[in-house]
Amino acid sequence: MRDFYGVTLDTPLMLGTAQYPSPAVLAEAFRCSRASVATVSLRREQGGGQDFWSLIKELGVHVLPNTAGCHTVREAVTTAHMAREVFGTKWIKLEVIGEEDTLQPDVFGLVEAARVLSEDGFEVFPYTTEDLVVAGKLLDAGCKVLMPWGAPIGSGLGLNNLFGLRAMRAHFPDVPLVIDAGLGLPSQAAQAMELGYDAILLNTAVAKAGDPAMMAEGFARALEAGRLAFDADPMEPRDMAAPSTPVIGKAFLE
């Protein structure tokens, strides 16, 4: 597994901490998910206070603060600085939202904010689209990780642009890539890993499931299966049938 700013994760799952019905359910979901990273919002932390922060620390995972809900460069940069003070980490998941209905990133503001934060010592995880030009500009701005969306946040639609995501993996073979947002089922996460992605970040699919812990375990197993499939060098799809049983030596009647 590739490292993320020098950190090698035990598992490829990054799990959000919002929308769970209770702290106990959140903790159990993390246990079943075997997630290596917890994403946290400064706004969420302020709502839960020290009790929430204590719960996050007890999970024993890496913490990735985010700038969720930010719509401008200034707002995102300010939130990132506050998060660094609160959570004591240089990691930041950078979100600069540009469109309300889809929560699509404002890629122009994203690149600008990424450059400002990288120059200030942050290790930026940018929530972006699968656009290759934007990806290149984010890398030029100092990012060493890319986090393209699978689909709009919270939609559960899965991987909307397989061609674009496959192209990003091929175009940036040495860059850690994380599918961030839009997954609703473990099968979609397995598909992302089969494409060669390095990790998955999700929240709603687990937190809003009828049984979050069971869904979290489903994602954990799917990620493992997807990674095994990718590492096994799977067969290429083909248009025509090919017999799986050899015909050489086949018995026949005259």
CA angle 220, 201, 123 (to 5 degrees): 130
Length of the chain (residues):
254
Residue 184 lies in a domain: yes
Q: What's the pLDDT score for residue 236?
A: 87
Residue type, 225: A
Cα separation values, 60 from 1, 38, 44, 182, Å: 20, 9, 19, 26
Residue 1 lies in a domain: no
Has 203 been labeled as part of a binding site? yes
Three-state secondary structure call for residue 6? coil
Q: What is the mean pLDDT of the chain?
A: 92
**How big is the chain by its Cα radius of gyration, in Å?**
20
Q: Which two tokens stand for residue 235?
A: 């067969």
Give catalytic residue positions.
93
Confidence of residue 75 (pLDDT cuts 50, 70, 90): very high
Residue 193 lies in a domain: yes
Q: What is the mean pLDDT of residues 109-120?
A: 98
Integer Cα distance of 148 and 224 in angstroms: 20
Has 181 been labeled as part of a binding site? yes
Residue 28 lies in a domain: yes
Residue 130 has pLDDT above 90, yes or no: yes
Residue 252 lies in a domain: no
Residue 250 lies in a domain: no
Q: Which two tokens stand for residue 50?
A: 């020290």
Interval 216-246: pLDDT, tens: 999 999 999 999 999 999 888 888 888 777 7
Residue type, 221: R
**What's 29's domain CATH number?**
3.20.20.70
**Which residues sit opposite 229 in a β-bridge?**
none
DSSP character string of the chain: ---BTTB--SSSEEEE-SS-S-HHHHHHHHHHHT-SEEEEEHHHHHHHHHHHHHHHHHTTSEEEEE-TT--SHHHHHHHHHHHHHHH--SEEEE--B--TTT--B-HHHHHHHHHHHHHTT-EEEEEE-S-HHHHHHHHHTT-S-BEE-SSSTT-----S-HHHHHHHHHH-TTS-BEEES---SHHHHHHHHHTT--EEEESHHHHTSSSHHHHHHHHHHHHHHHHHHHHT-PPPP-SS---SS--TT-----
Residue 248 lies in a domain: no
Q: What's the pLDDT score for residue 187?
A: 97
Interval 139-184: pLDDT, tens: 999 999 999 999 999 999 999 999 999 999 999 999 999 999 999 9
Residue 247 lies in a domain: no
Q: Domains in the chain: how many in total?
A: 1
Residue 249 has pLDDT above 80, yes or no: no
Q: What's the pLDDT score for residue 238?
A: 86
Q: What's the pLDDT score for residue 251?
A: 60
Has 204 been labeled as part of a binding site? yes
Q: What's the pLDDT score for residue 55?
A: 86
Residue 128 has pLDDT above 60, yes or no: yes
Residue 253 has pLDDT above 70, yes or no: no
Q: Name the residue range of residue 129's domain.
A: 7-232
Top-confidence residue, 137 or 86 = 137
Q: What's the pLDDT score for residue 242?
A: 81
